[in-house]
Amino acid sequence: MTVEPGVRVGQDSDASVIERSWDEPEAFAVLFDRHADSVYGYAARRLGAEAAEDVMAETFTTAFQLRFRYDTALSSARPWLFGITTNLISRHKRAEARRLRALGRLPSSAPGDQAEEMVADRVAARVSAQALGRELAGALARLPARHRDVLLLVAWADLGYEEVARALGVPVGTVRSRLHRARRKVREALGGSDPTTPREESDDE
């Protein structure tokens, strides 16, 4: 049995919680309890802790306002929530790019260094810890925003291709193409190392 992240066996699905919140608005707090930490963590890796607080709060405010439009055929709300988060992050894309470029100019960091922690996590699991913060941050900063969104939704939000497509409102083929290009650019910047864990590979351009 597959259980969505943040949901324990026997609990109502996200869709059930959202549907219940149509008549009982306070029920929406369950969705916040399940997913706020992961939304905050994703936003913090991209924008830093201070901005992440605002993005996380606005994500759930927006989701609450849009809850009547949620497709309850989709049991997990994670793609929907991360889609909202990504849209909000896009308003900070210049700040994100500046932050990544700044990290890319830092000296190589030792494992555990704060700068490395900000750009590490799943996306870093298969790259040497030495110089990770600098080189990976620089590579991410040079990606087009639409490619960076796809790569980081897969690597940091742990969404599958179809979930990313749902989050961004684009076809799965577009997700594959953007992810392929993003990985290629990151591999080139890291001397051939691939810092992602692809569930599938695609050579579609």
**Tens place of pLDDT per residue across the chain (205 aa):** 345 665 554 579 999 999 999 999 999 999 999 999 999 999 988 888 888 999 999 999 999 999 999 999 999 999 999 999 999 998 887 777 777 777 666 555 444 444 444 444 434 333 333 344 677 888 888 899 999 999 999 988 999 999 999 999 999 999 999 999 999 988 888 777 665 544 444 444 3
The model's pTM = 0.75
- Contact (Cβ atoms closer than 8 angstroms) between residue 55 and residue 85: yes
CA distances from residue 22 to 56, 60, 65, 68 in whole angstroms, order as listed: 21, 15, 10, 7
Q: d(Cα 68, Cα 18) in Å, to the nearest integer? A: 8
Model pLDDT, residue 158 = 92
**At what angle are helices 132-142 and 145-155 packed, to 10 degrees?**
130
Residue 196 · residue 123 · CB < 8 Å: yes
pLDDT at 138: 81
Rounded CA separation 115/199 (Å): 28
Reference 149, options 120, 177, 121, 182; nearest CA is: 182
**pLDDT value for 168:** 97
